[in-house]
Structures are given as C-alpha cells and as structure tokens.
Structure 1
Amino acid sequence: MLQGKTYSKEEKSGWEAAGEGITRKITGHNTQMMMVKVKFEKGAIGHVHDHFHTQSSYVASGKFKITIDGKFEILEAGDTFFVQPNLKHGAECMEAGVLIDVFAPVREDFI
C-alpha cells in the first residue's frame, strides 16, 4: 500500500520476499507509523537484529519462538510482543503463521 491510502485490500496487494521462507506485505504507512503483515513457513527464522524503531507485533496465526533481549517466549495466535528501540530480537517459526508488525516511525528500509 502506498503512503496516504486509507484502505488496503488483501487481494490487491502482493507479497515480497523477506528472507528464506518469509514474505511480507506493507499494509499501510505514513512517516510516523507502518503496519506490515509477515508470513512465515514452518522453520523459517527471522534472524536476531535490532533497529531504532519501536515495534509492536500480533501473532495472527501459527506458533513462534520470539527472542527479545536474550529471553524467549513461545507465542501463538492471539499473543503479542513489544520491542523497545535498539533491543536485539528475532523469531523462529514453529508452526507456519503470520505476524502483524507495527513500527514507529516508518521503516524506510522496507519501502
């Protein structure tokens, strides 16, 4: 979805590669915030990384081992996690699923 659009229709937006077994779709953004849908195949790994953005994520489906600042939790559909800026974090997909990530400010590197 392009900046300034109000609605994002699932069937009208495409997925882009974001790593082995991982695809993502930007569902909306402006300069202050961005929402991204991230689809993981079982076994896919979102490698440990950090960024200056605040991140809040919702597990829409699947099962994930989420590591934040060296500690991990197993999260399933309906669970959430929050990442403060500059904390190292990553995800390992235990059952295929989807995360909904919200970033503030916008992830310019995704556009």
Structure 2
Amino acid sequence: MTRHAHPSCGSPPHGGDPQEPVNGHQILQAVAALPISTWRYHWEPDHVRHLGPMAQDWQAIIGLSADGHTIPLVDANGVLLTAVQALLRRVEALEARLDRLQDTPTGR
C-alpha cells in the first residue's frame, strides 16, 4: 500500500462501474441553492470556524452522500469542478454574445 503525505481521492480505473454524464448547469444551480454558513464542531474551541454547507442540506440539494451526515470529499471535489466548468461555459457564451453585440452597427 502506498502512503500519501496528503489525503487524496481515488477514482475507479477504466472498466469500473459505467460512467454517467452530468448536467453542469443543473449542478451549478444546485450549488447556488446550497446554504453556506460558518460553523464549528462541538469539541472545538469557540474561536475555530469552518465554512461550508451542512451535510443534510448537501444530501437534500446535491443528492450525493451515503448517510446524510457527511460530505464525501470526492463528491465535493467533483461538484465544485463541474460547477466551475459550467460557469466557464456561461462566461464564454456571454463574452461571445457581447462580442456579437459590439460588432453590430446599432449595438443590438
């Protein structure tokens, strides 16, 4: 077994369970609807704060969690990367639209 100096998330090798495509824009909308707050674990000192969603909200809105009490890092990474890709596609589409509008004589 290989030990890593930092946590990592594995992914299945080719030939694992079938991959299913996701709709990045739906994921982005779900992320936008996800309540984000600061919080701390009850055993931590009062000055310690973390930032993120509650696992129950994550389960209800994103739908990825085995137990509704934790947010698997592999899923959090995948959701965030998918949302970033969807945002990039939106920005590129808006930039292209703006370029077309600026190229028209009337600006419309």
Fold shared by both chains (TM-score > 0.5): no
Query: How would you bin the TM-score normalised by the shorter chain?
Result: under 0.3
Relative CO higher for 1 or 2, CA cutoff 8 Å, sep ≥ 6? 1
Pick the structure with greater CA Rg: 2
Instruction: Specify which structure has the higher proportion of strand.
Output: 1
| TM-score under structure 1 length normalisation | 0.20
